[in-house]
């Protein structure tokens, strides 16, 4: 999927940059430059996914999954910097005098919108199913391309309809493209930062985790559950409450059964560390 994103972005970048120059359209040129940035962003996602898929080793016992999250963060930074450059270039070009955009400008933007709509839908579905921060970030990148290309198309349409009054709209369209890219980059960077900061998974996931643990015979309660995302999955810490009079051997077996049940029933969990504690007596308050 990431390879397809690189190929599509490269083709759209070449087409829109060439058309932007030939058709004298700042908006189309801005979209082309944005797509060129997408080539770099998609390449970063591809590298991140490849590195994250490596198995755990002695120096990385939790695996290399966070490299995928770092790739998503880098994509966000690329979008912010690229958007700022596009906006600045469009403002600088606003005073330029040139002929109105040609009809090729319209068709190149229409093609870009269609291709990006298809790519975005596929990446969102695949990324969310796999829990990939980087692939979802790349999908948001494609989605914003639709919005920016639509803004550019509106600007080109205005400039072509009445060049004497609205020629400058073509430059404003390029500026709008830059702003949209910056905003999207900030959102992508925020999502990746949240994962790097060990933000807990959604409440419905933690409730499901608790339910799976409580269904194992011998578990009297779940005193604490913690989870941190490492790439596409979470590593979980569970503190179980069991009968304080049972032997260490029996409590260990219960912990083993809980771990097996969680890994079997919850595909978003990579590994589980189980800690066993004595359940409080009815008269004893919980800590």
User: Looking at residue 236, which CATH number applies to its domain?
Assistant: 3.30.70.1350
Q: What is the pLDDT of residue 222?
A: 92
Q: What is the pLDDT of residue 272?
A: 93
Q: What is the pLDDT of residue 283?
A: 46
Say what the pTM is: 0.66
d(CA 255, CA 260): 9
Q: What is the pLDDT of residue 98?
A: 64
DSSP for residue 68? H
d(CA 214, CA 25): 63
Residues 191, 72 contacting (CB under 8 angstroms):
yes
Contacts of 79 (CB under 8 A, 6+ apart): 37, 41, 141, 144, 181, 182, 184, 185, 188, 189
285 within a domain of the structure (yes/no): no
The verdict on 210 and 259 lying in the same domain is yes
What is the domain extent for residue 131? 2-196
**Terminal C-alpha separation, the chain:** 48
pLDDT digits (tens, 9 = 90+) for 180-222: 778 878 887 888 888 788 788 888 889 999 999 999 999 999 9
Q: What is the pLDDT of residue 52?
A: 76
Return the exposure string of 238-266: e unless at least 16 CB atoms fall within 10 Å of the residue's CB, then b: bbbbbeeeeeeeebeebbebbbebbeeeb
- The list of the chain residues with pLDDT below 70 reads 1-3, 5, 95-98, 133-134, 281-287
Q: What is the pLDDT of residue 276?
A: 93
Q: Which helix (H) or strand (E) holds 269?
A: strand 269-278
Q: What is the pLDDT of residue 219?
A: 93
The verdict on 270 and 182 lying in the same domain is no
The verdict on 45 and 138 lying in the same domain is yes
């Amino acid at each position: 999927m990431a390879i397809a994103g690189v190929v599509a972005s490269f083709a759209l970048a070449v087409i829109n940059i060439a058309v932007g120059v030939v058709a004298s359209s700042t908006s189309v040129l801005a979209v082309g430059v944005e797509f060129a940035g997408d080539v770099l962003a998609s390449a970063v996602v591809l590298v991140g996914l490849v590195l994250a898929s490596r198995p755990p080793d002695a120096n990385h016992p939790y695996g290399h999954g966070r490299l995928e999250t770092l790739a998503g963060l880098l994509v966000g930074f690329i979008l912010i910097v690229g958007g700022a450059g596009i906006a600045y270039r469009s403002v600088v070009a606003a005073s330029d005098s040139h002929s109105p955009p040609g009809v090729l400008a319209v068709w190149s933007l229409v093609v870009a919108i269609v291709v990006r709509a298809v790519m975005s839908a596929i990446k969102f579905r695949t990324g969310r199913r796999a829990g990939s921060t980087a692939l979802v970030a790349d999908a948001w990148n494609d989605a914003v391309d639709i919005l920016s290309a639509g803004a550019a198309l509106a600007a080109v349409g205005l400039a072509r309809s009445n060049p004497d009054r609205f020629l400058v709209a073509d430059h404003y369209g390029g500026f709008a493209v830059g702003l949209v890219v910056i905003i999207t980059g900030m959102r992508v960077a925020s999502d990746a930062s949240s994962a790097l900061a060990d933000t807990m998974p959604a409440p419905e996931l933690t409730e499901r985790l608790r339910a799976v643990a409580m269904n194992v015979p011998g578990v009297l309660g779940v005193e604490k559950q913690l989870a941190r995302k490492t790439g596409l999955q979470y590593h979980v810490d569970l503190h179980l409450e069991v009968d304080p009079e049972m032997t260490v051997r029996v409590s260990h077996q219960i912990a083993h059964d809980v771990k097996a049940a969680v890994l079997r029933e919850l595909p978003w969990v990579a590994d589980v560390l189980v800690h066993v504690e004595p359940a409080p007596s009815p008269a004893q308050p919980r800590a």
